[in-house]
Amino acid sequence: MGQGETPSPARPPSTAKKAGDVEGPTWAFDTIAVHGAHEPDLNAGSVLPPIYQTSTYHYPAPFSEAREPGRVHLYTRVDNPNQEQAGEVIRRLEGAEAGRVFSSGMAALSAALLGLLKQGEEVVALEDLYGNTVTLLRDDFPRFGLKVRWVPSDRSSDVRSFLSPQTRLLLLESPTNPTLRVHDIGLWARVAHDAGALLLVDNTFASPVNQNPVALGADLVMHSATKSLGGHSDIIAGALAGRTSLLERMDGFAHTLGGSLDPLAAFLLVRGIKTLPLRVRRQNENGRAVVEGLQGHPKVERLHFPGSASDPEEKLCQRQMRGRTGMVSVVVRGGREGARRFMGALRLIHPASSLGGVESLASMPVETSHRQLSLEELHRRGIAEGMVRLSLGVEDPGDLLADLKRALDQV
């Protein structure tokens, strides 16, 4: 723009809905999933939002005076309307004040942990976390002077005894990957708050359909949005939801880390979330059907499903979850070789290491998500070498069971 030209008007207002929208707070969960991200586009009147596939934005100079959050964007690593829309619908589904999206679940987690903690501070973490989360805490944290105290699953109700005066954050997954144990989020939140610490819950396995950690006392919720939020195995994405003040404390560092979500992936995430409740409820039903169908099967040594580990865990599920999951871990007779034969004989269910999509997948945790752990560490977490983790999709339950039983016959 030459000297003396007038700056062009500010871009159209962000189409992400904001807290306090007149209709928003009264909507039920399923309506929020469909309509909670955006208004119809103001420029073209399209029902779906445009994909703002741009790295940067034109702005009226001087930027500092023109900037009004949500109206003028700067640079897509920092903000973008598609990212805002995805963050907005996720925060509403989680019942949180604010939401952010990231280029992966791990980008969300590292932004939260590295953005909120400082050298010398400690995290108290459940031992049964996703494999790469364990790697981050165990192998990378020490380089930044951050410490971790690990809580074995069986001592989860005694988490208080693991805290020290340096503890600033507690980290929990429930149900856990891949053993599907259930942990008391309300208890961990009380223990954290009594010590002036925060609780972060990875809610990937439950999804906001089955569980809302914020309502149970968590300060921050994290998702691998690659999984059921996206729901179609076509994007890698992550999300955080929680108090505005906490997310704002972390924002600057998150932008420096640079794990921002591509606008097309953010658009696909919002598109996927519209059917989240329908998909997850069907997956819950398929989970139940597979557990019932494989119970007592001679080639099955053990089935892992939320609530199956013990009576107290079943009661806890009833208290803190609205539904269970489409995740079932099957321990096949014959150890690692038996599991390999079973995987190789599946025809409908794809061998692949992700979860939460419309298509059913099977993976062996010892060879995929938890391959970084030693045999001793696997054993301590109850991850058998013959374990096959099933992520049930939305197919017909009869077809899924037929595939599983036929494959088990060949073990």
Ligand X SMILES: Cc1ncc(COP(=O)(O)O)c(C=O)c1O
Determine whether 139 is an active site residue. Answer: no
d(CA 135, CA 147): 13
| C-alpha to C-alpha distances, 322 to 206, 207, 232, nearest whole angstrom | 9, 11, 23
Amino acid, res. 197: A
Q: What tokens does 149 get?
A: 């105290």
Determine whether 77 is an active site residue. Answer: yes
Helices (H), 259-310: 263-273, 276-294
Phi, psi for 181 (deg, rounded to 5): -80, 155
Amino acid, res. 60: P
Residue closer to ligand X, measured from CB, 163 or 261: 261
Q: Which of 17, 130, 181, 274 is catalytic?
A: 130
Q: DSSP assignment of 345-380, as one string?
A: H-SSSEE-S--SSSS-EEE-TTTTTTTTS-HHHHHH
Determine whether 130 is an active site residue. Answer: yes
List binders of ligand X among 263-322 (CB under 6 A): none
SS (H, E, C) 4-33: CCCCCCCCCCCCECCCCCCCHHHCCHHHHH
Binding residue for ligand X, selected from 104, 233, 260, 325, defined by CB under 6 A: 104
Residues binding ligand X: number (CB under 6 A): 15
CB of 207 to ligand X, least distance (A): 11
Q: Which of 11, 77, 322, 333 is catalytic?
A: 77
> Which x/- pattern, by CB under 6 A, does the window 111-150 give for ligand X?
-------------------x-x------------------
List binders of ligand X among 360-399 (CB under 6 A): 369
Binding residue for ligand X, selected from 80, 82, 85, 177, defined by CB under 6 A: 177
**Any contact of residue 106 with ligand X (CB under 6 A)?**
yes
Helices (H), 216-320: 244-257, 263-273, 276-294, 311-320
Binding residue for ligand X, selected from 15, 204, 207, 363, defined by CB under 6 A: 204
CB of 369 to ligand X, least distance (A): 6
Residues forming the site for ligand X (CB under 6 A): 104-106, 130, 132, 173, 177, 202, 204-205, 224, 226, 236, 238, 369
Q: Where in the sequence numbering do the catalytic residues fall? A: 77, 130, 202, 227
